[in-house]
A and B are shown apart, each in its own frame.
Chain A
Amino acid sequence: MDKKKELPLWEVFIRPQSGLDHRHCGSLHAADNKMAIKYARDLFSRRNEAESIWVCKSENIFASNPNKKSSYFEVSVDKEFRDPQFYKIPKDVDYM
């Protein structure tokens, strides 16, 4: 297909039957948001995986620069004092 005529790209997020958060599961081409939801249902929930679907135009997602990985993320590797591991958690708080 001619590159210019390709339909816009969408990112798909599904919430599994088990609950929890919406998770990114893939992308697809579709003309508009309604069609994107339908295609997401057909492509990513054929085996009853999803309970809810979100779609978002890929162009609306802004990502961190992969080349800045070291200055962005690696700098926090040896700073374990940022983890609140020295607090005592009260008994009544079950899951933190």
Chain B
Amino acid sequence: MINKDLKNYNLYLYLLRIADTSLIMSQRLSEYCGVAPILEEDLSISNISLDYLGQARFLYTFISEEVPNECTEDDFAFFRDDDEFYNLSISELPNFDFARTIVKVFFLSALQIILWNNLKKSNNVFLSGVAKKSVKEAEYHFEHSSGWINMLGNSTEKARLKTQDAIDYLSPYTNEFFVDDENEKILNKKSMAPLWSNFSKEWHNKINFVLGDTSLNFNLNTQFQSKGKFGLHSEFMSKILSEMQSTARKFPGCKW
């Protein structure tokens, strides 16, 4: 659907990294629909999931209208294979338990706030427009997940341990957030998009500020770098895609 010969390939790739992360995040969170620990949280997580879906759709629609070959937002979601997805690896990891799900939203929404706030300044009108709309959603996701982090981190020993486990499991995947490649550097030179490597300090401050009110810690002692945004995914990616894409692929063109 997109290839290197396209005029705005750099921009599309940049947008797909954001859109794919939102789409896969949305699909993962939607797994909670009907099975969240309490009814209220069920609706909250579904709301967050729908926010992510909305962001992804917006970006896919934009790209599909720009590229010369005829394709739609659905083609981006349902007819690409895992090596054509550029989402951050953290989004494809299984929910596992509630703590891990909340920590994932916590990490990603903190990143999104910084990303959207920076993109507001983009000289690309479409990008700055999406950013203004989406930052409000990310701020709420961050508030919601921070509230849980605070509550779980100041709760029983069991809750604290589970949440610390979740932080320890997911934190290595945050190295990927702050890696730039040539693509981002090209866009940055054109003042279209910020470098994600510049987000690191602000992101860690944001996370540590919330954790500071709890006995939880963010300790990262690994150089491990996941490569989802470069199209290299974990074993979980093909499974989540097969579930998400099976209906659309079995009945091409099907409608609700």
Chain A CB within 8 A of B225 CB: no
Chain A CB within 8 A of B44 CB: yes
Interchain CA distance A61-B180 in the complex, whole Å: 56
- A42 and B44 in contact, given A31-B151, A32-B151, A35-B147 (Cβ under 8 angstroms): yes
Interface majority SS (helix, strand, loop, mixed), chain B: helix
Chain B CB within 8 A of A46 CB: yes
Chain B CB within 8 A of A24 CB: no
Chain A CB within 8 A of B10 CB: no
Tell me the smallest distance from the CB of B233 to a CB of chain A, in Å: 31
Tell me the smallest distance from the CB of A9 to a CB of chain B, in Å: 11
> What chain A residues lie within 8 Å of B43 (beta carbons)?
39, 42-43, 46
Interchain CA distance A29-B37 in the complex, whole Å: 12
Interchain CB contact under 8 A, B40 and A29: yes
Chain A CB within 8 A of B17 CB: no
Interchain CB contact under 8 A, B40 and A28: yes
Interface majority SS (helix, strand, loop, mixed), chain A: mixed
Candidate in B38, B39, B43, B151 with the most chain A CB atoms within 10 angstroms: B38
Interface residues of B in 98-146 (CB under 8 A from A): 143-144
Interchain CB contact under 8 A, A46 and B40: no
A31, A32, A38: the one within 8 Å of B144 (CB) = A38
Task: Give the nearest-CB partner of A36 in chain B.
Answer: B40
Interchain CB contact under 8 A, B147 and A43: no
Tell me the smallest distance from the CB of A44 to a CB of chain B, in Å: 10
Tell me the smallest distance from the CB of B182 to a CB of chain A, in Å: 41
> What chain A residues lie within 8 Å of B147 (beta carbons)?
34-35, 38
| Binary per-residue interface labels of chain B (135-174) against chain A in the complex, 1 for a CB within 8 Å, 0 otherwise | 0000000011001000100000000000000000000000
Interchain CB contact under 8 A, B47 and A30: no
Interface residues of B in 27-69 (CB under 8 A from A): 38-41, 43-44, 47
Task: Give the nearest-CB partner of B47 in chain A.
Answer: A42
- A35 and B151 in contact, given A7-B38, A29-B38 (Cβ under 8 angstroms): yes
Tell me the smallest distance from the CB of A50 to a CB of chain B, in Å: 14
> What chain A residues lie within 8 Å of B144 (beta carbons)?
38
Tell me the smallest distance from the CB of A27 to a CB of chain B, in Å: 11
A1, A32, A34, A43: the one within 8 Å of B40 (CB) = A43
> What chain A residues lie within 8 Å of B38 (beta carbons)?
1, 7, 29
Interchain CA distance A40-B155 in the complex, whole Å: 23
Interchain CB contact under 8 A, B151 and A42: no
Interface residues of B in 1-45 (CB under 8 A from A): 38-41, 43-44
> What chain B residues lie within 8 Å of A28 (beta carbons)?
40
Question: Which 9 pairs of residues, A with B, have the shortest CB-CB distance?
Answer: A39-B40, A42-B44, A42-B47, A42-B43, A28-B40, A43-B43, A38-B144, A34-B147, A35-B147
- Hey, which bits of chain B sit against chain A, CB under 8 A? 38-41, 43-44, 47, 143-144, 147, 151
Could you write out 28 A-B pairs with CB less than 8 Å apart? A1-B38, A7-B38, A28-B40, A29-B38, A29-B39, A29-B40, A30-B40, A31-B151, A32-B151, A34-B147, A35-B147, A35-B151, A38-B44, A38-B143, A38-B144, A38-B147, A39-B40, A39-B41, A39-B43, A39-B44, A42-B40, A42-B43, A42-B44, A42-B47, A43-B40, A43-B43, A46-B43, A46-B47
